[in-house]
Amino acid sequence: MRALILGRGAREHALTWKFSRSFRISGLYCAPGNAGTAELATNLPELSETDTEGLVAACRREEIDMVFVGGETALAAGVVDALQAAGINAIGATAAAAQLEASKAISKDFMHRHAVATAAAEVFHEFEAFERYIRAVEHPVVLKKSGLAAGKGVLETEDKDAMIGFGRETLLDDRLLVEERLTGYEISVFALTDGTNYTLLPPCADYKKAGEDGTGPNTGGMGAICPVPWVTPEVMEQVRRRVVEPTFAGLELDGLRFTGVLYFGLMITKDGPKLLEYNVRFGDPEAQVLLPLIKSDFGSLCEALMEGKLAEFPLELSRKTALGVVLASPGYPGEYARNIVVEELPTNNSKELLVFHAATATDGDRVVTGGGRCFTVVGIGHELLEARGTAYSAVKNVKFEGAWCRPDIGGNIFGW
């Protein structure tokens, strides 16, 4: 099978690495790819993630059998629909299903209609009604832009004037959700689905804030662990019954089934799990810690997904723990510098240590950064402490000007 991975982040590097270890793969491509994927696959740097026509043409030229779409922008733009229309197998949500991620107004409506456990919310599209509501509301709330916002569309504050300012700006070109503020701890749960059946993967925790102990601004994710030792089988069973089952029943009823990954962003409250959001893809950095724990041949797993045979697939998972630390550019998650020369990277990549690149490029024989989050260093161990030790000892060997990371990935996330 000749496979192409669409994207250029550390998630796509992890996917490319996973495919590169499959016995089913006879050709491997990444579009546009990064300096890390170039070591494992043929990059197609001229293709942007949403260049559907270019992608279909490249798939025909390179005789690609299957495309795995990494990120939400491409999915929401309808890349999967275009590939399927051209007779090319694709793993990822259709544009219609991607609305569950791209529009929080649509996804909240879906959750309510299908009795998925979630936070109560009101959706607004005009300012006056929103302002009246905020002036009157007495319980704690969070404000969310409806559209895609790369983790930056949520306002958590007590200050009503700040809320009203955020609402005024958002409502110029988007809808706004005012959601009951939940307390508890967050986990990410991923389901693989072949369009009919689904399988849940072990839970991950994503360390979303920029600062130690969960302080500072939100980011795309500064690190992750998998599995999460404080999530019990009972909690996972509640997630399955109250969130996952009604979701898949709802997808069926609404005609939204697809082949790919569905991601449940959950808050585990004292009243049980509540769904904060759907994403229609693997998380980043969650993919970097989840994929190394899949022991089954990834190419065969993807074939099973495409053929609707997930129920018969003997999915094998490692019993180890993976912990990923993100190295970011100076300034991230605000304005950040690009094209910083990477002076050193860990050289001892092994079964226990993996370094995934995000948006890096080569400049002659040097690697240069391209994004805000530049690398994910993943340690794998028998338990969290061992994984953490491996990851943080290698983090010291990722050297570029101004590189920074959170020092507390793997720490307790209660009370965030």
Q: Return residues touching ligand AMP (CB under 6 A).
A: 119, 142, 144, 154, 179-182, 186, 208, 265, 276-277
CA–CA separation, 67 and 31 (whole Å): 10
Can you tell me whether residue 396 is helix, strand or coil? Answer: coil
Contact residues for 67 (Cβ-Cβ < 8 A; gap 6+) = 3, 4, 5, 6, 55, 59, 79, 83, 88, 89, 90, 91, 92
Q: Closest CB to ligand AMP among 179 and 286?
A: 179
Q: Which stretch binds ligand GLY (CB under 6 A): 43-51, 88-96, 132-140, 280-288?
A: 280-288
Q: Closest CB to ligand AMP among 76 and 340?
A: 76
- Count of alpha carbons within 13 angstroms of residue 403, beta-carbon side: 24
Find the binder of ligand GLY among 12, 49, 65, 284 (CB under 6 A): 284
195 binds, among ligand AMP, ligand GLY, none (CB under 5 to 8 A by kind): none
Q: Closest CB to ligand AMP among 194 and 277?
A: 277
Per CB under 6 A, 286 contacts ligand GLY: yes
410 binds, among ligand GLY, ligand AMP, none (CB under 5 to 8 A by kind): none
Structure tokens at 227: 């599995």
CA–CA separation, 39 and 48 (whole Å): 20
174 binds, among ligand AMP, ligand GLY, none (CB under 5 to 8 A by kind): none
Per CB under 6 A, 333 contacts ligand GLY: no
93 binds, among ligand AMP, ligand GLY, none (CB under 5 to 8 A by kind): none
Structure tokens at 52: 């559907």
Tell me, by CB under 6 A, how many residues bind ligand GLY: 6
Residue 296's closest CA among 278, 280, 318? 318
Min dist. Cβ of residue 68 to ligand AMP (A): 23
355, 378 in Cβ contact below 8 A? Answer: yes
**Burial per residue of 227-247, b for 16 or more beta-carbon CB atoms within 10 angstroms, e otherwise:** bbeebeeebbebbeebbbebb
Interface residues toward ligand GLY, by CB under 6 A: 206, 221, 279, 283-284, 286
